[in-house]
A and B are shown apart, each in its own frame.
Chain A
Amino acid sequence: MPAFVIRRLLQSVLVLGVMSLLVFAGVYAIGNPVDILIDPQAGQADIARAISALGLDRPLVEQYLIFLRQALAGDLGNSFVYNVPAIQLILERMPATLELALAATTLAVLLGIPLGLWAGLAPDSWQGKLIMSGSILGFSLPTFWVGLLLIMLFAVELGWLPASGRGPTTEFLGVQVSFLSWDGMRHLILPAINLALFKLSLIIRLTRAGTREALLQDYVKFARAKGLSNARVVGVHVLKNIMIPVVTVIGLEFGSVIAFAIVTESIFGWPGMGKLIIDSINVLDRPVIVAYLLVIVFLVILINLAVDIVYSLLDPRVRIGEAQA
């Protein structure tokens, strides 16, 4: 197991290197922030001076090597427009995004698994059909539109919840979180629902399919024949066996939830990483773009690793490291 983890981490270093090169070259090809940000009254000499002060007049290879040398020393560079270390900007925004992503995932899991079970156990009942049609809506409605609808209904028309922003934060285990206060919770509800909707539908469908399949398995029939209670059959034998695909998908989807958070964050004015990356792309703030993507890639690698490990714990037949043997 340790060998497996180390090997995976070494692979990730390679992925990060390739990633940084691609992003670096991509942003270089688009242009430089001076063309967008320089004062309109500035003359040609001012423009040239600003470009050279940022080192943007040097050849791409040289710029990349300078970046690489600094990156290996742990410095991903200062943001062009914020004038603070790019990594600091990202880490400062990360708790907000993670909080939103975790809240959405929790919501999706807590609602999705019971609803999926229900739909799986009683597929022909009207409730089961309702849940399934609801999940189709959750799949097909665009996040952007649902977000606006939620705002119009709950914030503008009813006035129950705030339309945008993050509530007051408090420190919890060294991280600034907002869900501990009532006001913070009120700010979190709408964006979390909006972000959870797609995943909720996914989990409902997975759980339902898994349940229907498991109910026909011999071990379930055997458990029933033994005279076990329905609660035990469903709660232990069925649930445990359908968890494997569900956990895999939740894990893999967690990465995409962080990425999809961009849309929800901009609609709800949520000060997370997604808003930062959009702003940074608009002004070609290369250090932030590169650092953001490196952080995201690293997070996804970590999540995948965690999923593999949990997978092996859930299914005793899976042995980590065998694949490489």
Chain B
Amino acid sequence: MIVCMFERWAKSAVTGFVCIVLSLAGCVAATAAELRIGLGADVTSLDPHFLNVAPNNNAAWQVYDALTHVDANARLIPGLAVSWRAVDSTTWEFKLRKDVKFHDGSAFSAEDVIFSLERPATLSASPGPFTGFVKPIVAKKIIDPWTLQLKTAAPYAMLPYDLNSIFIVSKKAASGASTEDFNSGKAAIGTGPYKLSRFARGDRIELARNDSYWGAQNGKLAPWDKVTLRILPADTARIAALLAGDVDAIENIPTADLTRLKANAKFRLEQKVSWRTLFLHLDQYRDHPPHLSDKSGKPLAKNPFKDVRVRMAMSKAINRRAIVERVMEGNAIEAGNLVSPPVFGHVAALKPETYDPKAAKDLLAEAGYPDGFALTLYAPNNRYVNDEQLAQTVAQMLARVGILTRVETLPASVYFGKARAGEFSFALLGWGSFSGDLALRALLATPNAAKGYGAWNWGHYSNPKADGLLEQGFATLDEKKREALAREAATLALKDVPVILLHHQLASWAMRKEIAYEARTDEYTFARDFRRR
């Protein structure tokens, strides 16, 4: 009897306790809004000036601001600088935002900017330094605490763009700080929408809302008090975490899962055309490029890629619509430009080449290759969305017009070193750029180490007229005129089919039905841009 009563009491006590715990949990969930995001790549360091790679920058953007920001369309907008203008041809003046506070409560001023501009050069042992962005600055002058003048040696229009990549840290907190001081949060004092609470390397980054953030939209702060960025580089782990409710949103969705998520009523997708364009580089400088022969394996008399008719034929042989619909499962758009539609310098008049295998064969015959030839297409197999399948598809399309194509794919770690060393003559590359002229400078300008032109021009395409337009554009401080020059240069260069353009990728995010995200062309995942619906 007593046992019985005890049991009943215990049972009710347990039930009561469970009820209390549940209701408490409900309470907590209702007041402290937490957002948990699954990131697709590892963040190696929270020192914002150490390694310039997208995952690290993505994390830094939660905590820091730069003088200039970019909007969802990858267009430049004011950040910590409210405005900027060219005082003369080599001097830029930046007006800084007043009343901005760092996370520790100290005021932001031009001193912090100068400190932040100088800090990257002090971190020498970086495989991806930020120094390139501040290199053009030859002198810095503080006019007053909120006005700053930066001098360049030559007229340089890109400075406001470059300064988008330099995060502004607090001089007080970051003086003499090591990478570990940033990781521990001691030196990680920024002006951004979130404060760093904890960084567990390889696992998660915990953030708390900065209640005095200057960039509160329409006077409203982001609805999340607390944000946890979970690091989940394995696609399966990231998707599973979303499906199981471990996280509220994830970035970088594999195309195979997009279809499934679209059909699931519990989740929603946000997509936007990314700034990443995929294309094929063709060797246009060597007389006998490697991995190129006639169909019996004998070397060719000359390099067919030097003939524009051959390049045009190869471009016409590619069925871009099929690539977009099949290989990319609809998550890409056909490319006729080096940069995607929202980006500065995109030329709407340049349309994707139409698929015309008959014309391709005719052009090949006209160029002296009625039977085609044989080549090897190289591609990475873990860098771009479906890169290996893409290479296989391109190979089959080329085979259809008589170009016997073998495919060789390599992991990115091996691929890029070999590509830079000139070991391939026909190779896949993906490129994301702020602006058309920057993309042209890196990809299609005549290689010139002293000027920093053509650093990724694997095919050594050269068009002095386009180079001239580019140079003129970089010295043109008026944005409208510069964009016109960038468009002119792009039109001129792309007429020669210097590369075979394929497609622009779409960037994707998936999240619970109840929240929304403003998808971005630059592929960044900003906690502050997630909203309740």
Residues of A within 8 A of B (CB): 30-50, 53-54, 78-84, 89, 92-93, 148, 151-152, 155-156, 159, 162-166, 266-269, 271, 275-276, 279, 281-284
Contact = CB atoms under 8 A, between A and B. Distances in A.
Contacts of A279: 42, 202, 233
A39 B240 contact: no
B302 interface: no
Contacts of A54: 125, 127
Interface stretch (B108-116, B243-251, B309-317, B344-352): B243-251
A143 to B, nearest CB: 13
Contacts of A155: 240, 243-244, 246
Interface string B113-152: 0000000000111111111100100000000000000000
A36 B127 CA distance: 9
B234 interface: yes
Contact of B449 (A30, A45, A78, A267): A45
B52 A53 contact: no
B241 A269 contact: yes
B496 interface: no
B237 A266 contact: yes
Interface of B: 42, 44-45, 47, 50-53, 123-132, 135, 165, 179-180, 183, 200-204, 230-234, 236-238, 240-241, 243-246, 382, 411-414, 416-418, 420, 431-433, 438, 441-442, 447, 449-453, 455-456
A166 B203 contact: yes
Given A31-B414, A271-B202, A275-B202, A83 B125 contact: yes
B412 A282 contact: yes
Nearest to B449: A44
Nearest to A55: B125
Given A151-B240, A152-B240, 6 more contacts: A80-B127, A81-B51, A155-B246, A163-B246, A165-B246, A279-B233
Contacts of A164: 230, 232, 237, 240-241, 244, 246
A82 B42 CA distance: 10
B201 A46 contact: no
Contacts of B234: 266-267, 269
A266 B124 CA distance: 32
B511 to A, nearest CB: 16
B126 A93 contact: no
B431 A46 contact: no
A263 to B, nearest CB: 10
Contacts of B126: 50, 53, 80, 83
Contacts of A89: 201
A166 B243 CA distance: 18
30 contacts: A35-B416, A36-B413, A37-B51, A38-B127, A39-B129, A43-B452, A43-B453, A43-B455, A46-B452, A48-B449, A81-B53, A82-B45, A83-B45, A83-B126, A84-B180, A151-B236, A151-B240, A155-B246, A163-B243, A163-B244, A163-B246, A165-B241, A165-B246, A267-B236, A269-B234, A276-B202, A279-B233, A282-B411, A282-B412, A283-B127
A46 B179 contact: no
A81 B128 CA distance: 9
Nearest to A154: B244
B435 to A, nearest CB: 10
A269 B237 contact: yes
Contact of B417 (A30, A269, A276): A30
A44 B452 contact: yes
Q: Which 7 A-B pairs have the closest CB atoms?
A: A43-B452, A31-B417, A163-B244, A44-B449, A155-B244, A37-B128, A271-B203
B232 A92 contact: no
A81 B45 contact: yes
A38 B246 CA distance: 34
A37 B127 contact: yes
Contacts of B411: 282
Nearest to A42: B132
Contact of A82 (B201, B244, B246, B452): B201
A83 B42 CA distance: 14
A53 B124 contact: yes
A164 to B, nearest CB: 5
B431 A50 contact: no
Contacts of A83: 44-45, 47, 50-51, 123, 125-126, 179
A39 B236 contact: no
B413 A165 contact: no
B244 A31 contact: no
B240 A284 contact: no
A28 to B, nearest CB: 11
A33 to B, nearest CB: 4
Contacts of B52: 37, 39
Contacts of B414: 30-31
Contact of B230 (A165, A267, A276): A165
A80 B413 CA distance: 14
Contacts of B183: 84
B127 A165 contact: no
Given A82-B201, A164-B240, A45 B452 contact: yes
Contacts of A276: 202
A32 B237 CA distance: 29
